[in-house]
Amino acid sequence: MKVEKEFSKIASLIGDKARSIILWSLLDGKAYTATELAGFADISRQSVSNHLSKLIDANLVIADKQGRHKYFRLANEQVAQVVESMASLIAIQKIETKKSVAAQKLTFSRTCYDHLAGKLSVDLVKSLLDNKIIISKDTTFEVTDFGKDWFRELGIEVDTLKNKKRSFAHKCIDWTERKHHIAGALGAAILENFLENDWIRRKQYSREIVITALGKRKLFELLNISIDH
């Protein structure tokens, strides 16, 4: 019964409206102050402190102190994966019928913790598979020998990523596309590489990712991904 009891505690923590908004807001991989999170959840500063304490006690959120300020972020990649995966339980009809222009942009390309998500990420996986750069296994992706050389040309050392103390390239279900994108060390490296090369840019205070003109050209040249946005 202990497992069921502990699971019930976690479920009740995540199920609270304010705490679920806090966790969802932290899904962009950034760290925020309590004041910022209170604004996202539309609750008081005192209330957000109580919620954050409970999330920290449950090892769902951690706090980093810098000078006089505290910044809060998700405890690890596994928490982000759970939060993102829960969104896949939303009926697809409800997602389709509520797409504003802003929502459409977020659906097309966004961050999921420290990797790309949205249609762009799913198209990227398809192209990498079609070009034999990666292959699909049960719950993961593997990089081929040709793929190692391809990623090296891009500036990503696959063998170095494999030595990191984290998942290398696991499948993460995209909650809007209902298909897999790449998470783990490889997914994070791809996101950072695209940002450093100015193929994509983060949008402030949003998980939305903007594709630059250079990025559109490079993605088409290298992977035959055509972007009309």
For residues 31 and 138, membership in a common domain is answered with no
For residues 67 and 165, membership in a common domain is answered with no
* pLDDT interval class at 9 (50, 70, 90): confident
* pTM, rounded to two decimals: 0.78
Q: What is the pLDDT of residues 34-73, one digit of tens each?
A: 999 999 999 999 999 999 999 999 999 999 988 888 999 9
**155 within 8 A of 195, measured Cβ to Cβ:** no
| 45 vs 78: CA distance, rounded Å | 27
**pLDDT over 60 at 99, yes or no:** no
Q: Which of 75, 92, 114 is the last residue of a domain?
A: 75
In a domain, 32, yes or no: yes
The structural domain count of the chain equals 2
Q: What is the pLDDT of residues 150-189, one digit of tens each?
A: 999 999 999 999 998 889 999 988 888 888 999 999 999 9
CATH of the domain at 61: 1.10.10.10
Q: Which of 52, 75, 98 is the last residue of a domain?
A: 75
b/e code 82-111 from CB counts within 10 Å (16+ = b): ebbeeeeeeeeeebeeeeeeeeebbbbbbb
DSSP string, 172-198: EE-TTT-SEEE-HHHHHHHHHHHHHTT
Give the structural domain span for 32. 2-75
In a domain, 184, yes or no: yes
